[in-house]
Chain A
Amino acid sequence: MSRTLSSLPPTSGAPSPSPSSSISSRLRGSALRALPKSYLILVLLAIIAVGYYVSDDFLTFRNAENVITAASIVVVLAIGQYFVILTGGIDLSVGSVLAMSTVITALTLQAGMPAGASVVFVLICCAVAGLINGILVVWLNIPPFIATLAMMSAVKGFSYIIQSTSLIEIRNQWIIEAFSRGSFLGIRNPVLIFIIVAVVAALVAKYTTFGRSLYAIGGNPEASRLSGLPVARNLIITYTISGVLAGLAGLIAASQLRQGSSLIGVGYELDAIAAVVVGGASLMGGKGDPLNAVIGVFILTTIINIMNLVGISSEPQLVIKGAVIILAVFLSSAGGVQRISGFFSKRFPRTRAA
């Protein structure tokens, strides 16, 4: 049927819109695409500048390493969360899955399982938790918010049950080395892990058919279905990926804390969601960039770090964190930039008339 293609005349008004409109719309298009990203980096730089100004300890190698290491767990969670939010869903269970991951790691090691096998087993368990989320959402048609809320509770309860004591210590040096203390080419392993995860996520989102289909599903699920995309399959895969990444984050957390406990990771799901939306993704789905979610994590972590350095107690920290989330989302995705510029052009219309 290539005849169909070639037989269409190449004429019939090729795209030649008036130059002014094409230039302006192109400018507007590229500006819109660049804005959220550049604003985010500017926000991060501004926060770093503030940190430098208020604390002498802030811009030190040691502190930077602390911030980045602390961020690595949430970055890994946020990337899984990003893909789920990209499809128009949400995964509230990642904090619980992370906790379950630490518990299962500790338990299997305690039982004498080799470290490598333990890692694989933990990731499989977490994948199953994600898979169940996906199945609830796709086959049982339960809204993602509710399905993953239920899983959050169920997984947490499950962790308590299998844990049976308050916490389980981890003494296996291989695990601690691999996910916390070790380093490669001078980069600490958890940082290396999150960089690899972030880069792979960015490539998948931008260059693969799977990534493309997630943008399509989030943007318009019915049009995606009618175009023959494997909507159900890809949604299930996405929730499974989120589960696996929560498990990976759990391995990092378990190695850093050298223990497994169902109390680890409480509220992490909200940190991950906050980072994704600060990173400019829309909870309606179909929009965003995984690297922006990473920047979102760093914005939030850096602010906490600065507040710790200057000795702000944890309660005011929460208030300030909330305010920062609102401000960042307003600027990056709620059209705040346009509204502010609109406000000024309305107040001072002379510039346009001139």
Chain B
Amino acid sequence: MLAHNPVSPSTAAAEAARDTHTGASELRLDGVTKSYPGVQALKGVSFSVARGSIHALAGQNGAGKSTLVKILSGAESPDNGTIRLGGELQRFRDPMDAQRAGIHTIYQELSLVPSLSVAENIFLGQLPRRAGAFVDWQRMQAEARTALDRVGFHLDVRRPVGSYSTAEQQAVELAKALHKDARVLLLDEPTSTLPLPDVERLFTVLRSLSEQGVTLLYISHRMDELFSLCDAVTVLRDGVNAADLKTANSKPADVVTAMVGKSLEGSIADAALRGERSPSLGSGPRERVILSARDLSEQGYVENVTFELREGEVLGISGLIGSGQSELAGLIAGARRRTSGEIRVDGKAVDFRAPRDAIRRGVGLLPQDRKAAGFIPDMGVAGNITLASLPQFSRLSVIQSRRERNVAGDMVARLGMKVSGVHQPLKTLSGGTQQKAILARWLVRQSRILVCDEPTRGVDVGAKEDMYELIREFAQAGGTVVVASSEITEAMMCDRVLVMARGKVVAELDHDDIDPSGNAILERFA
């Protein structure tokens, strides 16, 4: 990697002195503050990013990351403090201002127009003209190809963007930024929606961009990414930079400790981070088979899967994204329809035509895409928690409001949800709290089998730990859990793991069969 700029919480003067004889500082923030009515989101953030480096920005939800992104991208202006780009003082009035200065932001949700061609997307808002009025298609396509070459992708620039995969669309977004002469690229959790092989490819692209002198500010929750990709990390906590570390001489545990403000020693996430064997979440299976599947198939997604789920165990279904683990979870929870095969609950064959059939048998689903399938955004915490149990919370279909409020209050306290009241709309809460509310929905429904589809996607480190703890508690109380996940560390926490590839179960491993680095699972993905 290029010039490692040592960024430490030392005085600004010392830092400036160092800048002169190492890589120059491309982006530099000094004492940036921002408050919203009632909340001070940033209380003084100062750090500097060396030109051509890959600099990570880490922090839990609510630490101020998203506010900082908004400020750097020009969507919001800081109350106090300065932003310098290549030494020049900047004041962005709007996102166009920031882009003109050379700061481009690539959000998790890509801002492309799916129905327009790749070339048109790259040139959006500044189509090259010929004779004043006509679009110069040839020049546009040629330049689009050049821009894509810089990110190492070769796509048909005439095809609509929507026909390409997420990874390819991301490349288009990168090419678009490069075409507009981006000096600094802000990447907001770019890998959260990418399958593993594409993540590697993206990293290769990012490294080559940094070698070309583009400065990258990389926002992510994932420690392995920070350490394999980035040169330095700035950790935000409660609106200040809690730590500025060089990745070369620090450990993932240092970053996590700075993020949560306390040592995670002995916790599940810590064990996983240190590459140790994770303790099992479950209390071990009992004899009784609670659910079984035989030759279960959904055409095109899941093929002839047979397994038994024992009461009290935590069963992992592991696979790369798109290997069918998510679909299998959906089949068990009645969210998807099987095309053939059989599911039995308590030994009796069942026909799950809709989620309510599975719910009635005691199966609850924690869906993968929380926003699209998990909760009702404008409804309060209490309403979301009792959503699957309305008949139990009503008499003659009149909702018993006080009982609902009490039970929701209990859940909020037990699961440690950070809310201002049980009627706070769920959309105003953090991802982790939303996930807990959905879990609470199944606890209140007294579900026996909890099916979790990627339970910690888009959830920060602290909330991740909470989720694992809750799954563990659910299992210890006699509940049974299925965890479908593309994260190896999560599979390693299960009592038993079904490894899936291309819709089939290719291996079944016991917790003890899995080595600390998860190779036993990884090598079966191929």
Do they bind each other? yes
Query: Which A residues contact B (CB, under 8 angstroms)?
Result: 1-5, 7-15, 17, 20-29, 207-210, 212-213, 215-216, 219-220, 222-230, 286-287
Q: SS class of chain B's interface: helix, strand, loop or mixed?
A: mixed
B354 contacts A225, C-beta separation under 8 Å: yes
Question: Contacts A13-B416, A212-B390: A29 and B376 contacting too (C-beta < 8 A)?
Answer: no
B39 contacts A229, C-beta separation under 8 Å: no
Interface centre among B388, B416, B479 (most CB of A within 10 A): B416
Chain A residue, CB-CB nearest to B425 = A29
A208 contacts B394, C-beta separation under 8 Å: yes
Interface centre among B333, B387, B428, B469 (most CB of A within 10 A): B387
Question: Contacts A213-B390, A223-B374: A4 and B420 contacting too (C-beta < 8 A)?
Answer: no
* 15 further A-B pairs in the complex, CB-CB below 8 A; given A26-B420, A215-B376, A226-B333: A2-B446, A5-B444, A8-B443, A10-B413, A12-B416, A14-B416, A20-B39, A21-B39, A25-B424, A28-B37, A208-B399, A209-B399, A210-B397, A222-B372, A287-B378
Chain B residue, CB-CB nearest to A29 = B424
B262 sits at the interface (CB 8 A): no
B38 contacts A212, C-beta separation under 8 Å: no
Rank and list the top 10 A-B pairs by shortest CB-CB distance, nearest first: A24-B38, A228-B356, A219-B376, A13-B416, A12-B416, A228-B359, A4-B477, A1-B446, A209-B390, A227-B388
Of the candidates B39, B394, B443, the one whose C-beta lies within 8 Å of that of A4 is B443
Of the candidates A24, A209, A225, the one whose C-beta lies within 8 Å of that of B355 is A225
A12 contacts B414, C-beta separation under 8 Å: yes
Complexed CA–CA distance, A230 and B421 (Å): 28
- In the assembled complex, 20 residue pairs joining A and B whose CB atoms fall closer than 8 Å, in A order, are A1-B478, A4-B477, A8-B415, A14-B413, A24-B37, A25-B424, A29-B420, A29-B421, A29-B423, A29-B424, A208-B394, A208-B397, A208-B399, A210-B397, A212-B399, A219-B378, A225-B355, A227-B387, A227-B441, A229-B388
Residues of B within 8 A of A215 (CB): 376, 378-379, 383
Complexed CA–CA distance, A287 and B372 (Å): 17
B476 sits at the interface (CB 8 A): yes
Shortest B418–chain A CB gap in Å is 6
Of the candidates B401, B410, B448, the one whose C-beta lies within 8 Å of that of A1 is B448
Residues of A within 8 A of B413 (CB): 10, 14-15
A25 contacts B397, C-beta separation under 8 Å: no
* Contacting residues of chain B (274-329) with chain A, CB-CB under 8 angstroms: none
Residues of A within 8 A of B335 (CB): 225-226
Residues of B within 8 A of A208 (CB): 394, 397-399
Complexed CA–CA distance, A3 and B378 (Å): 31
Residues of A within 8 A of B162 (CB): none
B420 contacts A25, C-beta separation under 8 Å: yes
Chain B residue, CB-CB nearest to A216 = B376
Complexed CA–CA distance, A282 and B401 (Å): 25
Complexed CA–CA distance, A280 and B443 (Å): 35
Of the candidates B419, B474, B479, the one whose C-beta lies within 8 Å of that of A15 is B419
Chain A residue, CB-CB nearest to B441 = A227
Complexed CA–CA distance, A140 and B477 (Å): 44
Q: SS class of chain A's interface: helix, strand, loop or mixed?
A: helix
B417 sits at the interface (CB 8 A): yes
Complexed CA–CA distance, A208 and B399 (Å): 5
A209 contacts B394, C-beta separation under 8 Å: yes
B365 sits at the interface (CB 8 A): yes
Chain B residue, CB-CB nearest to A9 = B414
B424 contacts A7, C-beta separation under 8 Å: no
Chain B residue, CB-CB nearest to A25 = B420
B376 contacts A228, C-beta separation under 8 Å: no
Residues of A within 8 A of B418 (CB): 13, 15, 17
B473 sits at the interface (CB 8 A): yes
Residues of A within 8 A of B441 (CB): 227
Shortest B370–chain A CB gap in Å is 9
B152 sits at the interface (CB 8 A): no
Complexed CA–CA distance, A114 and B179 (Å): 78
Chain B residue, CB-CB nearest to A12 = B416
Complexed CA–CA distance, A116 and B447 (Å): 49
* Contacting residues of chain B (382-431) with chain A, CB-CB under 8 angstroms: 383, 387-388, 390-391, 393-394, 397-399, 401, 410, 412-421, 423-425, 428
B375 sits at the interface (CB 8 A): yes
B367 sits at the interface (CB 8 A): yes
Shortest B374–chain A CB gap in Å is 6
B377 sits at the interface (CB 8 A): yes
